[in-house]
Structure 1
Amino acid sequence: MDKVNANELLQAQSHVWNHIFNFINSMSLKCAVDLGIPDAIQNHGKPMTVTELVAALPTLNPTKACFIYRLMRILAHSGFFARQKRSGDAREDGYVLTNASRLLLKDDPVSMVPMVEFLLDPTITKPFHFLGSWFENDDRTPFDTAHGKGFWDYDFPYTKLGNLLYDAMARDSRLFASALIDKYRGMFEGLNSLVDVGGSTGTVGKAIAEAFPHLECTVFDLPQTVAGLQDTGNLKYVGGNMFEQVPPADAVLLQRVLCDWNDDECTKILKQCRKAVSGGKEGGKVIITDLVLTKNEKVDDENSNLIETQLLCDMETMVLVGGKVRREEEWAKLFSASGFSDYKIDPVSVMRSVIVVYP
């Protein structure tokens, strides 16, 4: 410390303070969702003052109205709302939505509200308080340490939290399915059959089946997940265990599946997928949509933020389910260990790449 001047030390202290307080950004975001602030501003139809916002929030306790401007101030600083001049001689600026807060409108088909509510629920954030303890024990994940059971064994089905999880997954899949079909149409043409492994209730499978009526699509998930779901046209549901067997097809789709599992588990899944497509048309292929960790040789501010998002996602998967976010060389090692001969990766967004793997 003697060799660090006072100014440098104060800057370092500010950095520590910033990270101590970072959780407040997340909780402020959750508060805005809970109060319905994005929808109130959207429904107003023009820049909305704090006074107008307070009047439009029916669940707000009147004694707390004076604090709303402070919540809006931090949310605007975080990029969820923007201040805008109002027409005429209005003395008070109004708030408008940004692209980020448009994803927080509750009734939008691709709304991220269920994702916000699920990932910031105390059940999901609690394991992070046990991260230090986990490094000192034999538990598989901090989630196990916090709750006494693993994420996949937790009683999510038929609960409010479980409904949020399924809704969040469906909306996320709906957004990506549209982009996948639009940009990668050629990837599906020429196929006669496709299996969506871990396809849950079939959001992506339905979209692909509708876009390619000639394609026989199968949504493959745990029996309890697909129980009661009805086959329609060229889409059917099959229950099973992807670690033991995958239905044969020309192509297998793994949509945000492998990031939830460790390397040994991924190898088992991929080997079953390779068996499933080896007899397919022209040897078949496995289509993976997942996160590929960005190389950080050139770290500008924008790239640093993207990498941080990926690294945070990696920690989330480690803490909840024991999975990981992988670099390209780690993906290549998985493919080789699973018996595949070649692959290609096409980045779509910071949170998604399309990886096509060949037997």
Structure 2
Amino acid sequence: MAPNNGRGASEIFQGQVLLYKSLYGHMDAMTLKWFIELGIPDIIHNHGQPITLPELMSVLQVPHTKASGVQSLMCYLAHKGFFEIVRAHDKAEEKQAYALTAASELLVKGSDLCLLPMMECFLGPDFSTIWSQLKKWTYEDNLTLYDVSIGTTLWELLDKNPARNKLFNDAMASDSQMMNMALRGCNWVFEGVESMVDVGGGTGITAKTICEAFPNMKCIVLELPRVVENLADSNNLTYVGGDMFISIPKADAVLLKWILHNWSDKDCKKILENCKKAISDKGGKVIVIDVVINENEDEHELTGLKHLMDITMACLINGKERREEEWKKLFLEAGFHSYKISSLTGHLSLIEIFP
């Protein structure tokens, strides 16, 4: 037997566990897909109280022979934090029951904060096929996983498929609701700002939230013409069709919400240069909402999520998530002189950049 560099049995077994965890890791997404497709979060929510396994089996109308398998799936999802296992009394008998947690409550249809569209978008049947092409992607110069697997970019695919485009837009809108909740606690960011441009602001979900909080602020949503052509302006919200790589309307502040991670450093520099032209050198600022990778301060699991997001951006659209030193370099190269990073959500930061 070949030596293992003098490692003890305990360390070798730990290595085996890590390999097996990665081997079975794809099941995390598949078990999540399973309980979303069966509507289990809605079933428990509508049940009005924690649900026992027999009650769940009855609602799902699955064969009795599947009880053991369903229980295994539910126990694993509880271990991952999607359910809480509690004790319930059924006909004077104490039984194990499943209650929703903060994570699974975000998957209940019709709730104010629902991330179901995000899950449905990225748990689609073609996603695993795309990721199976990572080896081929590695050797194809400047091509994305979409290019090497189906011969087109993500953006071209969305343009050609209205149903898929709607699914993607619904996913982004659901995520915006989460960011909007966080922004409601960040009024200090917009105090004194009389006008703001939300670059790539979609249908204006975030801009509307800011307008409600600051009714005297003039908000502009800059988006591609085809996105905003049928949207109606309101008292302090205006939609403008345009291209952030060409020019950005003048304002006190420019908001870039989950925009820069889509682009290379070269493209980001151009966007930021246009932002700098749009704001005043005195009192103006650019507000970036994006990921900041920080292994030294973040919890291990959070760092893992940020690295997975970085892989996703790099492979799917040639984008990237950045560390603070990478952000700083980008800001300075675009002509800005200072910045301030604040936490926003569990994985997103708010960065104020000053000319």
Q: Which residue in 2 is equivalent to 1:149? A: 152
* 2:134 is equivalent to residue 128 of structure 1: no
Partner of 2:322 in structure 1?
326
**What SS class does the counterpart of residue 344 from structure 2 fall into?**
strand
Deviation at 1:107, TM superposition (A): 1.3
> Does the CA contact (< 8 Å) of 2:142 and 2:318 recur in 1?
no
Select 1:207's aligned residue among 185, 206, 209.
Answer: 209
Q: Judge which range, 134-143 or 12-21, deviates more.
A: 134-143
The answer to whether the 8 A contact 1:170-1:203 is kept is: yes
Aligned to 1:43: 46
Query: How far apart are 1:66 and its partner, in Å?
Result: 5.2
CA distance in 1, matches of 2:273, 2:95: 62
User: Is 1:23 aligned to 2:19, yes or no?
Assistant: no
AA aligned opposite 2:294 = T
Distance in 1 separating the partners of 2:354 and 2:63: 59
Structure 1 residues 68-147: aligned runs within 5 Å? 68-87=70-89, 89-147=92-150
Q: CA deviation at 1:67?
A: 2.9
Structure 2 residue aligned with 1:266 = 268
Aligned to 1:347: 343
Helix, strand or coil at the partner of 2:268: helix
**Between 49-58 and 74-83, the greater mean CA deviation after superposition:** 49-58
Q: Which runs of 5+ in 1 are unaligned?
A: none
Residue of structure 1 aligned with 2:242, choices 222, 240, 252: 240
C-alpha displacement of 1:284: 1.0
Instruction: Give the C-alpha shift of residue 351 in structure 1.
Output: 1.6
Q: In the alignment, residue 111 of structure 1 is paired with which amino acid?
A: C
Assess if the C-alpha contact under 8 Å between 2:83 and 2:99 holds in 1: yes
Deviation of the 1:343 alpha carbon: 0.7
Residue 98 of structure 1 aligns with an amino acid whose one-letter code is T
* Contact 1:109–1:171 (8 Å) recurs in 2: no
Report the CA distance shift for 1:211/1:203 in structure 2 as closer, same or farther (over 3 A): same
1:218 aligns with 2:220: yes
Q: Which amino acid aligns with 2:317?
A: V
Aligned position for 1:165: 168
Q: 1 CA distance for matches of 2:10 and 2:161?
A: 55
Q: Assess if the C-alpha contact under 8 Å between 2:77 and 2:83 holds in 1.
A: yes
Higher mean alpha-carbon deviation, 119-128 vs 47-56, is at: 119-128
Q: Which residue of 1 aligns with 2:199?
A: 197
Deviation per residue, 1:45-101 (Å, 9 max, x gap)? 12211111122236x567645532122121111110111011374242111011111
CA–CA distance in structure 2, aligned partners of residues 54 and 161 of structure 1: 32
Q: CA deviation at 1:167?
A: 1.4
Question: Identical aligned pairs, as a percentage?
Answer: 40
CA distance in 1, matches of 2:45, 2:176: 24
Question: Offset at 1:8?
Answer: 3.1
Counterpart secondary structure, 1:46: coil
Please state whether the residue corresponding to 2:95 is helix, strand or coil: coil
| Matching residue's letter, 1:131 | L
Q: Which one of the candidate residues 4, 7, 12 is aligned to 1:9?
A: 12
Give the aligned length: 351
Partners of 1:251 and 1:81 in 2: CA distance: 42
Instruction: Report deviation, 1:329.
Output: 0.7
Report the counterpart of residue 286 of structure 2 in structure 1.
286
SS of the aligned residue for 1:85 comes to strand
SS of the residue 2:120 aligns to: helix
For residues 166-185 of structure 1, what are the structure 2 equivalents within 5 Å? 166-180=169-183, 182-185=184-187
* Cα separation, 2, equivalents of 1:15 and 1:269: 41
- Provide the C-alpha distance between the structure 2 equivalents of 1:162 and 1:123, rounded to a whole number of angstroms: 15
User: What's the TM-score, normalizing by structure 2?
Assistant: 0.93
Aligned partner of residue 250 in structure 2, secondary structure: coil
Aligned-pair distance for 1:155? 2.8
Which has the larger displacement, 139-148 or 85-94? 85-94
Q: Find the partner of 1:231 among 202, 218, 233.
A: 233
Counterpart amino acid of 1:75? L
Aligned to 1:52: 55
Across the aligned residues of Structure 1 and Structure 2, the Cα RMSD in angstroms comes to 1.9
Query: Aligned partners of 1:174 and 1:349: how far apart in 2?
Result: 12
